[in-house]
Structures are given as C-alpha cells and as structure tokens.
A and B are shown apart, each in its own frame.
Chain A
Amino acid sequence: MQDPRIRLVTTILLSAAAWISLPGAVLSILWWLICGKARTSIRSIRSFFIILIVPGVMGLAAVWSGEDGLSYVVRIVAVLIIASWMYAERYPGELLDVGVWFLGTKTGFDLGLIGELSMSSLDTLARETDRISVALRQKGTPLSLRMIPAVFSGILIRQLNLAQERAILLTLRGYTRGGMHCPSFSSPDIDRINGAFSCTIFLLSLIAGDFFNIAGSTFIV
C-alpha cells in the first residue's frame, strides 16, 4: 500500500476491528493475507512466537480464571500482524508527510518529526540487537539472563547518545517549532479499494461485537 494516509487509517480500523470482536480479528487476518499480501516485518516464526509469549501467558491466565483466553490470543495475534504489516510497508519520512498533510506545518510537523525519530530509533534498536547477537555468537558467549544488565545498559547509552546527537543537529539547524515540508502522495486505486475493505471489516466487527447494544438497548438491528 503506497499511500501512508490510507495505510494509517486502515491500520487503525483493522486494529480496532480485531480488538472489538473475534470475527473482526479473523477478517483482519484475512485482509492481511489477501489485500496486505501477507507482508510482515517479523522475520521468522521463532521471533513471532517470542513476541507471543506475553499474550500467550495472559491468555492462559484468562482461561484459568474462566474467561475466553483463546479469543484474547487470536485478537492480539491479529493486532500484532496488522502492526507488523504497517511497519513493513512504511518508508522513511511518511509520518512527517502525513503529519503535515493532516495537521499543518506546526503541530503536524512536530508530531511527524517525533514519529519519524521514534521509528528511526526502533530501526536502530533492531539493527543493534542483530549486531549484538552476532557479536556475542562470534565471542562464543551464549545469551543468558546474567548478560541483560550489561547488554541493555549498552543499548540504553547508545540510544541516549543518538538522541543527544539528534538534538544538537536540530538545534544547529535552527529548529524551535514547526517547519516547512511539502508532502506528496501516490494513491493508486488498489489502495483505495483495500482501504474500503478495511472500513467494511471494521463495521462488520462492530456489529458482530454487539458494540451498539448498550445497556440492553439495541441501536442497530
């Protein structure tokens, strides 16, 4: 999906649809398979299962306490898949584009800039984690719990240094608030069609989730 505006709206709608109801979650996963071409930023099944550890434990706890833990896990999986699809589709600068298009060159620029800096920090973090894992493997030291303070303090210090360097750069370039930016977007028809599908899934999920049934009064029947 090339248009980041449609992608952002689609992500919000599908995440909400997945969270509201189980059918919404299943439809969101189907949307990802068909319209999203099953693109994901999760690079291996192993990583996917590692990500699922915490929701899995929460799901088990829910089942143990008599709640519908399976539904919780499926909905979380759908939300994670949609988030990973969005991350895989993004290109540098799109948050700034969308921010300025939506909220202008002051607030929009600032929010877009914050978003871009955060995303690039996530990229750096992912790259560093890769490098650390390779470095430890070459060193012949298997990853263990005892290493966590040393490894994480290194990551934290490098992230703080990076933030400081960026702050200095922005200051040197005269940044105080807002800035000039002229976003341009490419919106092919297929993006609009896929976006429309996500709206439909959101509405279906609202209905399936009994969202309009408040205090015994049905708003849509």
Chain B
Amino acid sequence: MNTPQIRLTGVSRKRGAFTLQADAEFGAGIHLLTGRVGSGKTTLGELLAGIGEPDFGTIQWNGGRRVMLLQDTSYHISTMTVQEEAGSWHGDAERIIRTAGLTGKEHTDLLRLSRGEVRRLELAAILTGQYDLIVLDEPWAGLDEEARRWVRQLIDSHAHEIIVIISHDLTSLPHIDQLWEMECGRLKQLGQVPACLSKWTKAPPLVRYLLNKGVHLSGLSREELEEAVCRIPG
C-alpha cells in the first residue's frame, strides 16, 4: 500500500491582516496541531482538506487523495434517520451503527439524537471509512468522557493514515506521533512525541507542571498523562 504523504512548500494564504504561512510535511500517523484561537489552525486544516487554495506555494500529495474534514457541526448529515445516515456513507452501515453505539436506534430520527450521539455517528462513519487524510477539528466538542475515550480508541487504530487533530482540549488525546504548533499564522513543527515535549515552551499547564516536576512523559494521550501524574515524586 502506498503510504500517504502531504508536502506544503512555501504555502501562504492572506485574509485581511492575517497571513497563514506553512512549510511542512505530513506523513502517516497522528498529528496534533495546537495554537491559540485565531492563530490559523482551522484555515490550515481547510487547506489540507482541499477547501480553498493557497495564494502562494504548493500542496503536493504522494499516494491517495481521499480526504475527510470533520468540523464542529453536523455538515455531513444528508438523511433523516440513523439507518439512512449510516447507509449514506457508502460503507458498512451496520458496522458504523455498531461502532457508534447506536444499535437499537436505527430508525430513530437524527433530530431526536443528542449532539454527542450525532457526533459519534459522524466519527464512526469517518473513522471506519477509507481515507488517506482525516482532519478532525475539535473532535471532542460535545462529547462526554465515555465518548471521548471511545474516540481515542478509534483514532488509535488508524496509524496507517494521516490524521490531523486540531484541538484546544489536551486532556482527551489519543497517542500522538507528531506535534505541531500554529503561532500567529506560522506553522511550526515541534517534532516527534515524546522527544519534543521537553522543549515545548507553550505546553498546556498540566504538561508544564509535570515537566517542572521532573516527570518523564512518554506521550500526550490521556492514559500516558494519568500514568505520569501517578509518578510525581512525593
């Protein structure tokens, strides 16, 4: 199988006073893109997903080009019931429903589902599908802890694709391979996790606290962070 790879060369996109700039290479694995609100994370995700073109520079693909972008609302919904919606993804509808934990609700109107249930259905359809690049923009929005754990497990089983997670919430992450930071529109590759964590100057408070305590972090996933907390000396 051809390993997917995306190369951004001299990419820039200007919108008013804001300019996004990126030179990067995304290979198979799970990438975390962090940064402040308005720093350009979503814009980069949209460029990667092929929504809009950069003003300058090129985005080159190696391997397949099946792309899926999940944003914070249910833009993908095109039918009225759970069964119809699972079927509309051209995959194994039963598997999607089972993965989403909606067995028994096949004929339920989507409007009667909670926001979290709709989110689970979308995520199950995306993560059981065949894509080369999946961009998940704030995938944990509207999900309870149990559903977050379920998403983590589902993402963890997708190491052969490029998965880019854009998130502020760093307490529910799956295993992360590469860490990226967006700062005032400029994309920076921090490196491979966990090696890059010690030089992560803008790490979230929990990670900073653990690093200051001298605890070695083996990764950024929820389980890895919990394990690190247990190893705090004293």
> Which residues of chain A (120-176) have a CB below 8 Å from chain B?
128, 131-132, 134-136, 138-141, 146-147, 149-151, 153-154, 157-158
Given contacts A132-B75, A139-B76, A154-B73, 5 further A-B contacts (CB under 8 A): A134-B51, A140-B89, A141-B90, A146-B79, A154-B77
Given the complex, which residues of A lie within 8 Å of B75, measured CB to CB?
A: 128, 131-132, 134-136, 154
When each residue 59-101 of chain B gets 1 if its CB lies under 8 Å from chain A and 0 otherwise, what string results? 0000000011101011111111000000011100000000000
Query: Which residue of chain B has the shortest Cβ distance to A148 in the bound complex?
Result: B78
Chain A CB within 8 A of B230 CB: no
Q: Is the CB–CB distance between B78 and A141 below 8 Å?
A: yes
Contact of A134 with B78 in the complex, beta carbons under 8 Å: no
Binding site for B on A (CB under 8 A): 128, 131-132, 134-136, 138-141, 146-147, 149-151, 153-154, 157-158
Q: Are B73 and A158 in contact (CB under 8 A)?
A: yes
A47 to B20, CA, bound (A): 29
Tell me the bound Cα distance from A188 to B71 in angstroms: 42
Q: Which of A128, A134, A138, A151 interacts with B77 by CB under 8 Å?
A: A151
Is B49 on the interface with A (CB-CB < 8 A)? yes
- Assess whether B111 is in contact with A140, with CB atoms less than 8 Å apart: no
Residue in B73, B74, B110 with the greatest tally of chain A CB atoms within 10 Å:
B73
- Of the four ranges (under 10, 10 to 19, 20 to 34, 35 or more), the interface on chain B belongs to 10 to 19
A157 CA to B49 CA, complexed, in Å: 26
Interface string of B35-73 (1 = CB under 8 A from A): 000000000000001010000000000000001110101
Contact B80 A140 (CB under 8 A): no
B7 to chain A, nearest CB (A): 21
Between-chain CB contacts (< 8 Å), 18 pairs? A128-B73, A134-B69, A134-B75, A135-B71, A136-B75, A136-B76, A136-B78, A138-B67, A138-B76, A139-B76, A139-B78, A139-B90, A140-B90, A150-B77, A150-B79, A150-B80, A150-B110, A151-B78
Describe B's contact surface by its main secondary structure.
Answer: loop
Q: Which of B69, B79, B80 contacts A135 (CB 8 A)?
A: B69
Given the known interface contacts A132-B75, A138-B49, A140-B90, the answer about A153 and B111 at a Cβ–Cβ threshold of 8 Å is: yes
Residues of A within 8 A of B79 (CB): 146-147, 150
A154, B51: Cβ atoms closer than 8 Å? no
Residues of A within 8 A of B68 (CB): 138-139
Residue among A138, A147, A157 with the highest chain B CB neighbour number at 10 A: A138
Please report the C-alpha to C-alpha distance between residue A150 and residue B111 in the assembled complex, in whole angstroms: 9
Q: Give the docked Cα–Cα distance between A151 and B77 (Å).
A: 7
Of chain A, the residue at the smallest CB distance from B110 is A150
CB neighbours (8 Å) of B73 from chain A are: 128, 131, 154, 158
B71 and A150 form a contact (CB under 8 A): no
- B82–chain A nearest beta-carbon distance, Å: 12
The answer on a CB contact under 8 Å between A150 and B78 is yes
Q: CA A109 – CA B71 in complex, angstroms?
A: 35
For B118, the closest partner residue in chain A by CB is A154
C-alpha spacing A139/B223, complex, angstroms: 32
| A131→B71 contact, CB < 8 A | yes
User: How far in angstroms is the closest Cβ of chain B from A3?
Assistant: 21
B88 contacts A141, CB within 8 Å? Answer: yes
A139 touches B69 (CB 8 A): no
Task: Give B125 Cβ to nearest chain A Cβ, in Å.
Answer: 8
Do A139 and B88 have beta carbons less than 8 Å apart? yes
